[in-house]
Homo-oligomer: A and B are copies of this chain.
């Protein structure tokens, strides 16, 4: 078969999809490893679900309309199937299906790929990773608390910069609306408040007045509750202010409506006792829009990159499994925005831009010493040092160039004399410092000291 140039296929990926080059994938894997470690520290367990499911499972019955967001098609067996577009719907199906095999409270984490055929504007991809964690089957306050502590530990582990976790409880607003005899307006009020960062305080007030029909007194209570004033454009309340604020809300409410405020107080008190309150804020304007959340809601921000939006969000929901099972399961959970975190950390130049996982590059001066080079390599590897042997027997200058391009900091140079001695030359090619005739353990020591 002879392929002329006209029969070649232009190598390219679909719009909204992308390859990961090594330096990108190395960093992404580091983030995944850090989060996985945190999940497991807290005893969360990994799960997975298929990428492809019955469309009925993902979209519900009678979803006849073509949803532009969903990759949906007919498979070889004429089944109506679709690629999962989030990890929450598959989790609901999973918990319903395996109900009797799971141990509740069930604490799964799920890192997986999802697909959405949406428009591909800046930073939006049609294939991306989600990283969900949930506590299912309990309404105990410990579960809300633990989810928040996990977010704190996760964002601390990532070292993406100082962060703040904005916490709210939807039920507090609902209690206020009930007090104002406006429970029926809850959905509209939530929807409008959720837009505040886009449309501004003025416009929120206008819409609450004109569209929802709140009166002057009601508006005053809401504006006060939401802490909407020009000097605090993100509406966050921190430190001891949190307890003052919650107390003032409690005092507004009748005694039988104070429970949710007290629960929120208790969560913040416990966070304070654990010593991590400086990473948290109370933000009554966080509602998570029209999502299915019913109680606790939260969003988190890297302080010097607020414009990237929330990097970890979530909340409490009721009856996750209602579509598939008569066993009601409520829960609380969150998701780290993996791709957003990668973009943010790249923007902050926090990545090393390495194109190798190795710290040491062993030159190949003579092919006949390959066994010796790999033996040196093995000894370093067993000491926990990642190590490459130069695969080709090229000129020294070219081998230096390879190590340099791969950004491998150390090289080991060993010819006949050194191999026979069992002592080798080490060079730090960044600092230019060289050491002659070192034993393996001396080499290990130099590298571990980052000499």
Contact B115 A21, beta carbon cutoff 8 Å: no
Copies of this chain, whole number: 2
Residues of A within 8 A of B (CB): 3, 5, 7-15, 17-22, 25-26, 29, 36, 39-54, 56-57, 60-61, 68, 71, 73-77, 79, 81, 93-94, 96-98, 101, 103, 105, 107-108, 113, 115, 117, 127, 135, 138, 140-143, 145-146, 149, 269-270, 273-275, 322-326, 355-358, 361, 364, 367, 370-372, 374-375, 377-378, 381, 386-393, 402, 405-406, 408
Task: Other than A3-B323, A13-B50, A13-B53, give 20 A-B pairs with Cβ distance below 8 A.
Answer: A8-B325, A11-B93, A13-B49, A14-B50, A19-B97, A22-B46, A25-B46, A29-B36, A40-B357, A43-B361, A45-B355, A51-B51, A51-B113, A73-B73, A138-B391, A142-B393, A143-B391, A273-B371, A273-B375, A275-B375
Q: In the complex, which of the residues B25, B127, B141, B149 contacts A367, with contact meaning CB atoms closer than 8 Å?
A: B141
Contact B17 A50, beta carbon cutoff 8 Å: yes
Which residues of the partner chain B approach A15 to less than 8 Å between Cβ atoms? Answer: 77
Contact B43 A145, beta carbon cutoff 8 Å: no
Taken together as a complex, chains A and B put the C-alpha atoms of A269 and B367 apart, in Å, by: 13
Q: In the complex, which of the residues B25, B117, B146 contacts A75, with contact meaning CB atoms closer than 8 Å?
A: B117
Contact A370 B57, beta carbon cutoff 8 Å: no
| CB proximity of A392 to chain B, nearest CB, Å | 5
Taken together as a complex, chains A and B put the C-alpha atoms of A150 and B408 apart, in Å, by: 20
Contact B68 A45, beta carbon cutoff 8 Å: no
The residue in A12, A105, A355 that gathers the most chain B C-beta atoms within 10 A of its C-beta is A12
Which residues of the partner chain B approach A146 to less than 8 Å between Cβ atoms? Answer: 374, 389, 391
Which residues of the partner chain B approach A52 to less than 8 Å between Cβ atoms? Answer: 14, 17, 71, 115, 127
Which residues of the partner chain B approach A51 to less than 8 Å between Cβ atoms? Answer: 51, 113, 115, 127
Taken together as a complex, chains A and B put the C-alpha atoms of A140 and B74 apart, in Å, by: 47
Which residues of the partner chain B approach A57 to less than 8 Å between Cβ atoms? Answer: 9, 11-12
Which residues of the partner chain B approach A73 to less than 8 Å between Cβ atoms? Answer: 71, 73-74
> Known contacts being A11-B57, A370-B142, A391-B143, is A356 close to B50, with CB within 8 Å?
no
Contact B81 A76, beta carbon cutoff 8 Å: no
Contact A270 B386, beta carbon cutoff 8 Å: no
Taken together as a complex, chains A and B put the C-alpha atoms of A357 and B39 apart, in Å, by: 9
Contact A14 B356, beta carbon cutoff 8 Å: no
